[in-house]
Amino acid sequence: MKRLGINIDSETFRLAFTHRSYSYEHGGIPTNERLEFLGDSILGFCVAEYLYASFPDLPEGDLAKRRAAIVSTRALAMIARDLEVGEHLFLGRGESQSNGANKSSILADTMEAILGATYLVQGMDEARALVLRFVTPLLEDPRLLGATTDWKTVIQEEVASQKLGEMCYEVTGSGPDHARTYVAKLCIGAKSYGEGHGPSKKEAEQEAAHNTWLLFHPGEVLPKG
Give catalytic residues, as residue numbers.
40, 112
What's the CA gap between 6 and 103, in Å, rounded?
24
Q: Among candidates 183, 187, 185, 186, which has minimal Cα distance to 174?
A: 183
Is 140 within any annotated ligand binding site?
A: no
- Amino acid identity for residue 37 in this structure: F
Has 36 been labeled as part of a binding site?
A: yes
CB within 8 Å of 66: residues ≥ 6 apart? 51, 55, 58, 139, 145
Strands, sheet with 191-198, edge to edge from the N-terminal-most edge strand: 167-174, 181-188, 191-198
Residues annotated within a binding site for Mg(2+)? 36, 109, 112
Residues annotated within a binding site? 36, 109, 112
